[in-house]
Amino acid sequence: MTDTRAISLIMSLRGQGITDQRVLSAIERTPRETFVDDPFEANAYENSALPIACGQTISQPYIVALSTQELEIQANHRVLEIGTGSGYQAAVLAQLCRMVYTVERHKPLMQLAHSRFQQLKLHNIVTRHGDGFQGWPEQAPFDRILLTAAIPDLSPTLIDQLKPGGILVAPVGKPVSAESNSQDLVKIIRTEEGTSRQSLIPVVFVPMVPGLPQVNSDGETRK
Ligand code: SAH
């Protein structure tokens, strides 16, 4: 049975202009409380981002909904996500497409997300511990690519992993600072001739960080 809090969340997303019924149903079916840490269980259905381990965040449901809607996903698609985080966005995508490939640089986050996918029997999500700046060349090309961490500039490495006709959605811009207080959520469509680019809305995402975190001799991980 759907949690009544999930129904209120869906109504609020509709009010914010999310019209794709398949996206709304996928969000309604995804138990967000499974993806937040215990202290935030009571806040799981609020339309806001929340902190998760390793200094990262689970995205706001509205941003998950908008990004997913703009990806125009079809049932036979293979989708690459960069930035697994809690696993929530991947779980929403998995209900709409054939296969989700998700990459995370923090191993503990990747492992926790993987166990959540098992628990929810989402067997069409494959996880990888790695640097998303490289994409996932062995599985490319993808029908769709979603970045859930902000990239300063979109690199050809990622766009080259998109099929012609494919769509990539990403927060593009520098980390939030005194000079810039948001990034741009950008939608790129790869055409035979090149790419077309559309700016959707200003957003605030954690930055994409190159390479893997270094683990020191005490087993502590540096960001
Ligand atoms: N999609 C997530 C939100 C994640 S926040 C969710 O639904 O919860 C962004 C994530 O991107 C963080 O977990 C961060 O560790 C990860 N990230 C940052 N840089 C990365 C990189 N270079 N490669 C892979 N993951 C990266």
**Nearest alpha-carbon partner for 52 in 31, 37, 38:** 37
Neighbours of 85 (CB within 10 A): 26
Is the beta carbon of 127 within 6 A of some atom in ligand 1?
no
pLDDT on residue 179? 84
Q: Where are the domains of the chain?
A: 4-211
For the annotated catalytic residues, the residue numbers are 59
Atom in ligand 1 nearest the alpha carbon of residue 54: 15
Strand runs (DSSP E) across the chain, as ranges? 50-52, 56-58, 78-82, 99-104, 125-129, 142-147, 162-172, 183-190, 195-203
Q: What would the mean pLDDT of 2-26 be, rounded to a whole number? A: 94
CA–centroid distance, 184 to ligand 1, in Å, is: 17
Residues 190-223 pLDDT 10s: 998 899 999 999 999 999 999 999 876 565 665 5
In sequence order, the β-bridge partners of residue 185 are 171
What's the CATH code, domain 4-211?
3.40.50.150
pLDDT in tens, 54-78: 999 999 999 999 999 999 999 999 9
If you measure from the C-alpha of residue 150 to the centroid of ligand 1, how many angstroms do you get, rounded to a whole number?
Answer: 9
Mean pLDDT value across residues 33-47: 95
**What ranges in 78-217 are assigned the alpha helix state H?**
88-94, 107-119, 156-159
pTM of full prediction above 0.85: yes
